[in-house]
Each structure stands twice: as structure tokens, then as C-alpha cells.
Structure 1
Amino acid sequence: MSDVSEHAGQAALSICEALLLAMNDRGLLPEHEIVGVLRNAAGTHENATGTEEEVQEHQSVASLINAIIAGGNSVRRV
């Protein structure tokens, strides 16, 4: 992955996490729905097909999303 793509991915992740936190803070989405959004995103990548390299990339993305869920990064848990 090029540096530009990697930086774009990191920026996108940061923006999405900030949006999820803001939606939770404003009461627009409860924690369980935010976790549901993340689980759906992870599932999409877990079930992706393609070349071996593409599947490995998707699995890495799914692992990252699942780590975010486990760590509670996108919701402020009390």
C-alpha cells in the first residue's frame, strides 16, 4: 500500500470514529447501534472474495474493525 493510500485510510478512520462519537454524544445513535454498524462493516470484509492478496487485505481490515469494537474506541462507554 502506498503512503498516500495509507494516510488516506488513517484519515478516513479518524473521521469516521469522530462522527460515531459525535452521533453517540448527541444521542443520535445509541452504543448498540454504533457497534452494529461496526459489526456490519467487519462482516463485509470478513466475507469478501478475490485474490489471495485481496482477501488478506480484507481480513486485516476486519481485524482492525473488530479491535475497535473490542476496545470501545468509537463509543464512550461509562
Structure 2
Amino acid sequence: MNPSANVAGLAALTICEALLLALNDHDILPEGEIMGLLRDAADSHANAPEASDASHPHAEVAALINKIIAGGNSVRRT
């Protein structure tokens, strides 16, 4: 089996989200730590030299993580 990059990326994102939710649900990592982890991940991609080109994968990944942080993240409890 040789999944496409999109399928592999979606699987990885789903697995990571499930892990973050479980870590929070079991009081292993508090929400603030999880949000910090997401911000660090976004920043590392945004600060890559290639990220100055908005169509580069680093810039796209940073934008996606920032969208998750801004409102689509089910880890955030409101």
C-alpha cells in the first residue's frame, strides 16, 4: 500500500488530534500546554526560510495549524 501524501497527511492529523484529545481528557496535558504545542508547531513552519512564499508547504502548514488554533480545534473547551 502506498498512500498519497494527502491521505497520509490527513491520517497523521487525525491521529495527532485524537492523541491530543486523549492526553487532555486524561489530565495528562492541560489545554494550555496543548495549545502551546500547536503554536510551536505553527511557528516552526512559519519561520522556515521557504515560508516567505505563501504557496510553499511550510507556509500552508503554518496557516492550517493557525486555523485549527483559531477556532477549529476540538481540544479547546469553551
Q: TM-score range by the shorter chain?
A: 0.7 to 0.9
Alignment partner of 1:27: what SS?
Answer: coil
Asked if the contact 1:35/1:69 (under 8 Å) is kept, the reply is yes
Matched pairs, number: 76
Runs of 5+ consecutive residues of structure 2 not aligned to the other structure: none
**Which runs of no fewer than 5 residues in structure 1 stay unpaired?**
none
Structure 2 distance, partners of 1:58, 1:30, is 27
- Structure of greater relative contact order (alpha carbons < 8 Å, 6+ residues apart): 1
Given that 2:51 and 2:57 are in contact with CA atoms closer than 8 Å, whether structure 1 keeps it comes out as: no
Which TM-score applies when normalising by structure 1?
0.84
**TM-score by structure 2 length?**
0.84
Tell me, yes or no, if the aligned pair for 1:24 and 1:75 is still in contact at 8 Å. Answer: yes
**CA displacement at 1:71 relative to structure 2:** 1.4
Q: After the TM superposition, which parts of structure 1 deviate over 6 Å for at least 4 consecutive aligned residues? A: none
The corresponding residue for 1:40 is 40
Percent of matched pairs sharing the same residue = 59
2: distance between equivalents of 1:14 and 1:6? 12
Instruction: Tell me how large the CA RMSD over aligned residues is.
Output: 2.4
